[in-house]
Chain A
Amino acid sequence: MKRLRLALVFGAVAGLASAGGATENRGLPGNGPAAYKEDGRYFTEDGVPTYFIAEDGTVDWLTFSGFRRYHAECHVCHGPDGMGSTYAPPLKDAVERMDYYDFVYIVSNGIENVDVSHQNVMPTFGQNKNVMCYIDDIYVYLKARGDGALQRGRPAKREDKSDAVASFEAECMAGG
């Protein structure tokens, strides 16, 4: 049952990354990695979720939401603004080294670094809806931080949440 639930949450998330369907705004302005927008989410050319920051500093909804979720679920270990702490590495740098799929895998399954001088253990969040329902949000926020596209602190301006994101969120948080 555990495994099935994990697979379902994971599937829902990974599925979004390669979702087909109607796209809009091809040829987005600016130099960011976003190639297209779909249902209020931005993606790279490879269909990987990413951030979009307009010229006036307005961030996409997922980046803003990721800021919130990161600072509730991740920051007590990984420090404010993705910058690391005395006992956990800076995730804004980690997302530059690993790709989206590795990121989702580690968050879902955890990782250990325990030896004579390290006692670093990241738990498995695969069952945690407060994390897994927002994994894309957290990823694109950290990616924006890691790329240097987003400064520290709370983004001042943001896009509104799209209906598609709202219904995904409701479904994911309600689901078993």
Chain B
Amino acid sequence: MKKLLAFTSVAALCAGSAALANDELLELMNDPTQWVIQTGNYANHRYSGLDQITRENVGNLQVAWTFSTGVLRGHEGSPLVIGDTMYVHTPFPNIVYALDLNDHGRIKWKYEPQQDSSVIPVMCCDTVNRGVAYANNTIFLHQADTTIVALNAETGEVKWTAVNGDPSIGETNTATVMPVKDKIIVGISGGEFGVQGHISAYDMETGELAWRGYSVGPDDQILFDENTMSLGKPVPANSSIDSWEGDQWKIGGGTTWGWYSYDPDLNLIYYGTGNPSTWNPSQRPGDNKWSMTIIARDADTGMAKWVYQKTPHDEWDYDGVNENILVDKEIDGEMRKLLVTFDRNGFAYTLDRVSGELLVAEKYDPAVNWATHVDMDPASETYGRPMVVADYSTAQNGEDVNTTGICPAALGTKDQQPAAYSPQSGLFYVPTNHVCMDYEPFRVSYTAGQPYVGATLSMYPAPDSHGGMGNFIAWDALAGEIKWSIPEQFSVWSGALATAGDVVFYGTLEGFLKAVDAETGEELYRFKTPSGVIGNVMSYEHDGKQYVGILSGVGGWAGIGLAAGLTNPNDGLGAVGGYAALSDYTALGGQLTVFKLPD
């Protein structure tokens, strides 16, 4: 409590100064006893500097306390801890609880928004929410119906609300928001409903819209100017609308429902854009810019500094929204500011985050087959583009043709479930899917507010492998190599946490919290929580003791397969029993479990 008061009083003295809100947040992020942002820090490291829990003693971990959220759908994201208060969020109806860590988690306040239930079916894959954000003594919640709410962190009182989108045309929200300086950065979902994706900045104090940059559209909408670069060259005018046929860009997708990162020195925010609409590539010829793209924007103005399109003209639903992790590393004797991302398309990219130069693009699952490699030759006409394998091209095979054996499946080698980075080991810890698919596109018509998909998919475990649907891997981003890989029966749909104790944590769809050795991947501890884990592991310290927290509550896209399990239709009936359904292991729930070492 002392610590929180000290910080808030500093902020109060200098109220109105934009930079200070940011300084306070930066200082809090550097304090390992708290967990003040969903991504661990602006760089998205998901690393805890706490080291009480070590590879030697983690085997003694025990449950300290639990909390039921009262909601039974997919629980993504994690709680925050600021001072002596923990903030826990839920899926729709998006309840926020403030729990008093000094009083056994007593509920200090609870906020439950009133949302029209008609938003529920407009969310493509469960009503998940990836958590609240904190800055300036305020908790920011971005509801399913795209209402942004600023709550007094002490009392839960509403300071302001703003509306970011229109659910009646399929605009919804699942993401957290990112506070930067005096603004909060806000995205939007609805790629399967033909929305025109955008990212927006709202004034932290008033909720007023400061700027909005679309992913697709004319230059004044996407906030590109003559200084916007791509792969070392200025982006020509009208780059987005010239890469679409007719007005298709207006329902072109490119939603922004993933994670955001920020570099305070460069004053740039980084994020990825989602799939172009529809899933039938024949209905949208062209590169469909700037869907599937990493975009670096100026935090004050929103102007795009550089862009890199990972999957031009998507044919597989490989949304490019995954987190961009910012690290500084030495390359050829020179310190470089880097950005590392594990894309849905199965390639792990390392870029220079100042210029957007592409440095590494390698597969992080050997099963990936839709492209042979990414062209790394700057002199080549196809520089930076994936070299698509014709057999696995749903566009080349055409409408009404079932393209089989594509790896990865539409849910990607990794979806939004965030990776962790340990500055101690220099490695990235990545939760992955090991799933392949058959994909048959066909023609669909657009109706506002209705699903706009246009493809039939069957997904199944990667053939000729260990039979499971996931791996948890350690990745060397400079070499572009897997250091070690743990096979998992189901997709790993939980965000990882790396710690200074050389322990890495992640959850599994069966409901286990697992702890592994950061160097070797050896399993050191597991505990079966009440429901499958799709939340992200976090850590904090209270009264001098380190805690580890995780939300359970199976659902999300992973929940689609709960009852059925995934089978390979090409394997025939005999294989069905081989891949047991997730429902044999877990059922719905909504619970926070907090772990500690014995006293």
Contact B456 A68 (CB under 8 A): yes
Contact A130 B444 (CB under 8 A): yes
Asked if A73 is at the interface (CB within 8 A of a chain B CB), the reply is: yes
Cα distance, A77 to B124, chains bound together (Å): 8
Looking at the assembled complex, report how far the CB atom of A10 sits from the nearest CB atom of chain B, in whole angstroms.
Answer: 15
Contact A121 B120 (CB under 8 A): yes
Asked if B237 is at the interface (CB within 8 A of a chain A CB), the reply is: no
Given contacts A87-B73, A87-B127, contact A151 B450 (CB under 8 A): no
Asked if A120 is at the interface (CB within 8 A of a chain B CB), the reply is: yes
Given contacts A72-B454, A86-B73, contact A154 B569 (CB under 8 A): yes
Q: Which of A81, A87, A127 contacts B559 (CB 8 A)?
A: A87
Looking at the assembled complex, report how far the CB atom of B253 sits from the nearest CB atom of chain A, in whole angstroms.
Answer: 15
Contact A121 B555 (CB under 8 A): no
- Which residues of B pack against A, CB within 8 Å? 71-74, 92-93, 117-118, 120-122, 124-127, 192, 402, 438, 440, 442-445, 447, 450-451, 453-459, 554-555, 559-564, 566-567, 569, 573, 576, 588
Given contacts A76-B124, A112-B117, A151-B573, contact A86 B447 (CB under 8 A): no
Chain A 76-96 interface residues, beta-carbon cutoff 8 Å to B: 76-77, 79-81, 83-87, 90
Q: Which residue of B lies closest to A74 (CB)?
A: B451
Cα distance, A120 to B73, chains bound together (Å): 10
Asked if A165 is at the interface (CB within 8 A of a chain B CB), the reply is: no
Contacts of A121 in B (CB 8 A): 117-118, 120-121
Contacts of B453 in A (CB 8 A): 72-73, 76, 130
Beyond the given A75-B457, A80-B458, A128-B447, could you list 7 further A-B residue pairs with CB under 8 A, ordered by the A residue number? A76-B192, A77-B121, A85-B563, A119-B120, A131-B450, A153-B458, A153-B569
User: Nearest 3 CB-CB pairs, A to B?
Assistant: A153-B569, A86-B559, A123-B121
Looking at the assembled complex, report how far the CB atom of B278 sits from the nearest CB atom of chain A, in whole angstroms.
Answer: 10
Chain A 32-60 interface residues, beta-carbon cutoff 8 Å to B: none
Contact A130 B561 (CB under 8 A): no
Please encode chain A, from 15 to 44, with 1 for each CB lying within 8 Å of some chain B CB and 0 for all others.
000000000000000000000000000000
Contact A130 B192 (CB under 8 A): no
Looking at the assembled complex, report how far the CB atom of A20 sits from the nearest CB atom of chain B, in whole angstroms.
Answer: 30
Contacts of B457 in A (CB 8 A): 71, 75
Asked if A103 is at the interface (CB within 8 A of a chain B CB), the reply is: no
Contacts of A131 in B (CB 8 A): 450
Asked if A117 is at the interface (CB within 8 A of a chain B CB), the reply is: yes
Contact B562 A128 (CB under 8 A): no
Asked if A114 is at the interface (CB within 8 A of a chain B CB), the reply is: yes
Contacts of A117 in B (CB 8 A): 72
Contacts of A119 in B (CB 8 A): 71, 73, 92-93, 117, 120, 127
Contacts of A173 in B (CB 8 A): 443, 445
7 pairs from A and B in contact (CB 8 Å cutoff): A72-B442, A79-B564, A80-B564, A110-B121, A127-B447, A129-B445, A173-B443
Looking at the assembled complex, report how far the CB atom of A65 sits from the nearest CB atom of chain B, in whole angstroms.
Answer: 10
Given contacts A73-B451, A86-B126, A121-B120, contact A154 B562 (CB under 8 A): no
Contact B566 A79 (CB under 8 A): no
Cα distance, A112 to B566, chains bound together (Å): 28
Asked if A122 is at the interface (CB within 8 A of a chain B CB), the reply is: yes
Cα distance, A166 to B445, chains bound together (Å): 16
Cα distance, A5 to B440, chains bound together (Å): 29
Contact B120 A153 (CB under 8 A): no
